[in-house]
Amino acid sequence: MRTIFAIVMSFMLLCGLTHAQEPLWTPEPGDLDPEVNLALGKTVSFSPQPNYGLTSAGDTDATDLTDGRLSDRPDGKLWFQAKCVGYSYGGRANLSLDLGEAEPISEIAIRFQGGSPQGGITGPTWMAALVSDDGETWRQVGEYSILGRDDNEALGVPRDEGTAFVHRFRFSDLNTRGRYVGLAFYCSGLLVSDEMYVVRGEHDADAVDLAALPVVDFSTSRPQMQLHKPYLWFTTNIATPNPVGLIAPDGAETQDVTIALELPPGVQLVDGGGFGRGSEDAPAEPLSAIEGEHIADGWTRYEWSGTAGAATKTWGRLFIGGDWEDGREGEMRYQVAYADGTQAPVMTVPIRAVEVSETEQPDELVVGLSWYGLGSMVSWPDSLGAFRTMGLNTISNHAHWIAKPGAAGYDEQWALWDEAREQGFKLLNIDSTFHRIPNEPETRCQFADGTIGTKLCPSYRGQYYRAELERVASQNAKAKPDYIFPDIELWGWRGPTDAEKCTRCQADFAESGCETLAEWQLQKGSEMWVDVVEAIRAAVAEAGGLEPEFGVYDWVPTSDYQYTWPFRRLYPEYLQSAQPSTYTPLNWFNIMTVGGEARASRELLDGPDALPWISPGDAGTFDGERFRYALLECFCNGARGMNFWSGRVWDTEILVAYSRVIRNLVPVEDLLLAGELLEGAEVQGPGRISGVVADGEMVVLVADYYQDAGGAVTVKLPVDAAMTATDLDTGETLTVAADGTLRVPLEGVRARVLHIM
């Protein structure tokens, strides 16, 4: 589903890569002096290896960050250059270098692309600078984060506003020492750098007391367990997951490990799974089967074996519970031991307890977890009960991923699906339609010289095409879902370009009556999708199901997806929702972009039929506050539900934020569904307003994400008389003057959602 950076790579072909202008950046004094910049010329080790195709060209990543060469593109777009290093949807990553001997260090720095010039391209969400004398014991000397706080001002990071920039993140005045230097960071959708630095200090290295600094688990040579945030929330009245990732260098051999988790009094391990335990044919026992060992000071230790292999965001999941009161904070500990007898250091993690308020499920708003499918749901303790408490009303399935009858998990997953239906949940099936047409010669474009293309031919309608229609129809006949949301990314952003020289396509074009190949291409896309819908409708009806609602990832009324799929021809008969995709609500600009994309679709629809896609953390993990604002932006700009890719990184904090949004919006669900986009509202000074209005009532989101308004935003609303604005989160009431003036205090928050009547 994630082709955003394939699009970026393809776009390069249309961009001139020679520039007459001068480059934007030149080295600073001392950057090219190895006596000052100790990193210069050193080899960098990575775990995992950077994976972005354009920047990894030439296999020079190991020296690209220390060669003294900055990006020389005058447009500031690092991701086009092989002299840079890039991670696409990388998650947590480590890099390190060996200075050759222990040196005094005053600064560790690295340049990262920022500005959100295209969706997903931002700086890191979290980063730590580390030093070591021996390459084994690492100590943290600096940290940057936008998780639960915003360190951008402290590090001088410019605002993300849609224009490319590169910022030098500096951990300065360190007065530390080390032979080895490391950086750990959490990537965004695309994280790109062109240079790092280690600046020699003038202090005495031998006088530095490294023992006073905290030891952390860090390595670029062995697998490393990691949480996706430097803290963890857990729920006390329901079970909610917290994902555990694995960092590993490329090519690392699989090895047995032992994981130990220590929890304080009143907190316990409820369940969990993964960690390389068991197999599809012989699943391991859930972690709930582990009996904790009581240790000192009332703590409990849980220990289990696992297998560490390739890097992954979901090595395992932990469900932690307890009887702590809401908001209580403390800490937990974990440690990994390896097969050769070595042990990672004990990691101490701040934890926080939260009680989820019972939240009413909406009747019509589509609120589920999308790509969090049945395979994960069956290992979530009382998953349906947790969904109900949080107010989630939609359960997801990937019917084509469920094992065949008789295989492990088959019966459990379908039983959960049926139980969800009986309990009144809405059911969503996600499919990758047409992607399962096999790569056979007859299914590819046919060229005059006898060769074939590499992608599906848009005019192919043979046996494999018919078999694919039968597959998707029969699977949905079994599932009988309320919603069917396929993901169809058959070609690059330019569409099926092989059709221009395909003899079959040219013959079909000649017979089509279309004046242009572009018009013919839209005709073929429309024909393919209508075939899918009609096949599913017939099969589901025959199976006794109700007609489902259809929508496709990233099909929107503002454009023809891949120049092939004409949304406006298909809506509303063959499509009932637009599904704009904006994956990275990390920074304030991105959050506003999410709302803007929802609004752009809603403006061209007959009703509130926008169901946007965002990421719950795959394109950079983020805190509950940012997630909540992103969701509110969507709903207050005309959406009637949400979609998410993927299911890997949902954690307690953002699930709690999601539940809070549902709790805010349920009282005004009817207004959101019946309303039109708010027009005519004005912001007096800095700030932003979005909203939906019906019969004079409004739901509005008033925001000052950059905090420029001095603690309050004043708006002027199109009203005929004085009204009352009720904060849907706190219950506080504000007065709307007869002329429409409303002053919204924002102390301690960046946005408020209000019901005006």
Residue whose C-alpha is closest to residue 262's, from 314, 336, 317: 336
Q: How many CA atoms lie within 13 A of 311 on its CB side?
A: 24
Domain ranges in the chain are: 4-215, 224-354, 677-756
pLDDT digits 0-9 by tens, 615-647 = 999 999 989 999 999 999 999 999 999 999 999
Q: String of b and e for 624-641 (b: at least 16 CB within 10 Å)? A: bbbbbbbbbbbbbbbbbb
Look up residue 46 and give its two tokens.
């990575």
- The three-class DSSP label of residue 92 is strand
pLDDT digits 0-9 by tens, 278-291 = 876 788 999 999 99
Q: HEC states along 444-471?
A: EEEECCCCEEEEECCCCCCHHHHHHHHH
Predicted local distance difference test score (pLDDT) of residue 3: 45
Q: HEC states along 337-377?
A: EECCCCECCCEEEEEEEECCCCCCCCCCCECCCCCCCHHHH
- CATH code given to domain 677-756: 2.60.40.1180
pLDDT < 70 stretches in the chain: 1-21, 280, 585
- CATH code given to domain 4-215: 2.60.120.260
Q: Phi first, then psi: what are they for 195, rounded to 5°?
A: -165, 145
Measure the CA–CA gap between 578 and 556, rounded to whole angstroms.
5
Angle of helix 383-390 relative to helix 410-422, nearest 10 degrees, comes to 40
Predicted local distance difference test score (pLDDT) of residue 584: 73
Topology match between the domains 224-354 and 677-756: yes
pTM of the model: 0.96
Q: HEC states along 571-638?
A: CCCCCCCECCECCCCCCHHHHHHHHHHHHHHHCCCCCCCECCEECCCCCCCCCHHHHHHHHHHHHCCC
Angle of helix 503-512 relative to helix 517-542, nearest 10 degrees, comes to 90
Look up residue 158 and give its two tokens.
């410019």
Please tell me the class of the 224-354 domain.
Answer: mainly beta
Q: Are 255 and 223 in contact (CB under 8 A)?
A: yes
Measure the CA–CA gap between 316 and 302, rounded to whole angstroms.
15
How far CA 505 is from CA of 453, 461, 563, 602, in Å, comes to 12, 11, 15, 35
